[in-house]
Amino acid sequence: MAKETTNFLRDMRWTAKLTVAGVLSVTNIVEEMHQTVFSLGGLIGEVARREQKGSRGELIRGFRNDYGES
C-alpha cells in the first residue's frame, strides 16, 4: 500500500510539472504571436520584443515568477 501511494504521489508531481511546462510554452507562443500581430507581421519593421502591459502582462509575469521561468 505504501509503495502504491508513493508511486501515485510521484506521478502527480510529474503531472503537475508537465502541466506547468506546457502552460508556460503555450504562454510563450501566444505572447510571440501577439507581438507579431502588433507589428503587422513584420511589415513595418522587425518584430520588437517588448514587455506586456496591463492585466495580461501582470498575469504572465505572475505566472512566470511563481513557476520559475524568467
CB atoms within 10 A of CB 33: 10
The most confident of 4-8, 37-41, 46-50, by mean pLDDT: 4-8
pLDDT the model gives residue 48 = 60
pLDDT the model gives residue 4 = 72
Q: How many helices (H) and strands (E) does the chain have?
A: 2, 0
**Rounded mean pLDDT, 28-41:** 78
The CA–CA distances, whole Å, from 65 to 4, 13, 39, 60, 69 equal 33, 19, 27, 9, 6
**Rounded mean pLDDT, 2-18:** 85
* Angle at alpha carbon of residue 37, lines to 49 and 30, rounded to 5°: 70
Mean pLDDT, rounded, of the chain: 76
Q: What is the pTM of this model?
A: 0.59
Q: Residues 20, 67: contact at Cβ < 8 Å? A: yes
pLDDT the model gives residue 15 = 93
